Amino acid sequence: DAKTTQPPSMDCAEGRAANLPCNHSTISGNEYVYWYRQIHSQGPQYIIHGLKNNETNEMASLIITEDRKSSTLILPHATLRDTAVYYCIVRGRSGYSTLTFGKGTMLLVSP
């Protein structure tokens, strides 16, 4: 599975949009981009995933560039409870594909 690169940390003011970037320049055509987050002392939580089209759900939006080499997770109105480590993961569809978690981005939402 392709590797991803994320900034180690980001800050965001409460109520503003949080835009978390991810670089996955070696992604192959059948690999999906997944985003998870881990709030302190909790298990990881699935947020969203996509292949090539932009995706939106009740938690976030995922914007994938046309060449699929990078993506951005958008939390439209960040709250204090969104403070967490956010992981961008690239995964194939094979049963032998796994979620390989990197270091992620520590997002700190401040009042």
Partner 1 sequence: DTAVSQTPKYLVTQMGNDKSIKCEQNLGHDTMYWYKQDSKKFLKIMFSYNNKELIINETVPNRFSPKSPDKAHLNLHINSLELGDSAVYFCASSQGVATGELFFGEGSRLTVL
- Where along the sequence are the contacts to partner 1 (CB under 8 A)? 32, 34, 38, 41-46, 49, 85, 89, 91, 93-101, 103
Whole-number minimum distance, CB 33 to partner 1, in Å?
Answer: 10
* Beta-ladder partners of 21: 72
Q: Which two tokens stand for residue 20?
A: 């978390």
Closer residue to partner 1 in complex, CB, 38/72: 38
Please answer whether residues 22 and 70 qualify as being in contact, where contact means their C-beta atoms are separated by less than 8 angstroms. Answer: yes
Whole-number minimum distance, CB 19 to partner 1, in Å?
Answer: 22
Closer residue to partner 1 in complex, CB, 58/96: 96
User: Across the beta sheet with 18-23, what order do the strands follow?
Assistant: 18-23, 70-75, 61-64, 55-56
Closer residue to partner 1 in complex, CB, 14/97: 97
Q: How many residues does the chain have?
A: 111
